[in-house]
Structure 1
């Protein structure tokens, strides 16, 4: 994937050194395309076990491959998927890095946490139960690969990634979880602002609906 992405995209990364964090931790990112996991996996210093929606595990040959690269399924239709929660906690306990997209699906514009939308509940609970740090991350530009001409080798679309300082859960109860989710959302928006200012991103660089990138709207 590094070779493929290197041929079709130029990726700019801020604060990559923050992914040297030892032990088990959660990587939490906004979600703009189906290409996000490869981009993030290729730019972190640690191997990532991705939590992925169960629909991606069909047909079965795809499911075999997904398990082989250490992903695990989550049922997004459930308010709380206990099996996915247990699997996350077990992997964190073993010192693994677990990647999560807490927006609950691909989001852009006002539907995204980057533009003020709330995060899906549950992430704060994982941070509380595990005691593991949470590293926020913002990815911009991966959705440009929905434009078919950007797959022409060495045409090279652009992507931008920024990693935040690790966040640690503090306190107890519902108010503490709400406060943690607010801190996380604020950190993601700060990283988003940093990327926009540092690289002078245009409106077209920012997340767009997949249909628009494909030229359907």
Structure 2
């Protein structure tokens, strides 16, 4: 068993019952072959392990550089496929290059386009980075909405939506920001559809 799988099992044992996590739309994530970008809203520090736990494939996440300063935590992060990104994001060429390598190798890249957590749960404007990766790769773009409040014993829903249609965006030479805006709109639609469930 890989360290990633071990960590995923631990997260499932600890967080799934505590937050009554339920996932939907897993059929929208290509099971094998080809790169995938999962773009999710961001409401808690628990979002990366929750998305990682519910996704059937291993996910590579960017994590802020400061988190790697602690040797033990840095070791854990690297072994669950996380890699560092400096503040400012789009100016960190190493992180951008590494993200593109993840996709080039046919893996899954997990992104939180808002950049920071939304304290109200309302979806904020996404940063251009998500659009950058979408346009610079042939990845399937899967929007994801985390719905709930991370309150003990209250349901937390993780919904993966239908892949974002990229062909027309490429054809119309959409900018990275325009692509991100489309992705964020899809996440909003998922959230609105399932808020009352």
Normalising by structure 2, what TM-score?
0.84
* 2:55 maps to 1:44: yes
Which among 159, 175, 180 is matched to residue 162 of structure 1?
Answer: 159
1:82 deviation in Å? 0.9
Contiguous gaps of at least 5 residues in structure 1: 145-149, 151-155, 200-217
2:150 aligned residue: 143
Q: Contact 1:135–1:163 at 8 Å: present in 2 too? A: yes
Q: What is the number of equivalent residue pairs in this alignment?
A: 184
Greater alpha carbon shift after TM alignment, 178-187 vs 168-177? 168-177
Give deviations 1:159-205, integer Å, cap 9, x for gaps. Answer: 011111112433268744343223212101100011113x1xxxxxx
* 2:187 maps to 1:188: yes
1:177 aligned residue: 176
Contiguous gaps of at least 5 residues in structure 2: 1-10
TM alignment of 1:26-45, pairs within 5 A = 26-45=37-56
TM alignment of 1:82-93, pairs within 5 A = 82-93=93-104
TM alignment of 1:55-66, pairs within 5 A = 55-66=66-77
Give deviations 1:37-58, integer Å, cap 9, x for gaps. Answer: 1111111111111111112112
Distance in 1 (CA, whole Å) between partners of 2:84 and 2:172 is 27
1:84 deviation in Å? 0.8
Distance in 2 (CA, whole Å) between partners of 1:159 and 1:58 is 31
Normalising by structure 1, what TM-score?
0.77
Aligned pair in 2 of structure 1 residues 138, 69: CA closer, same or farther (>3 Å)? same
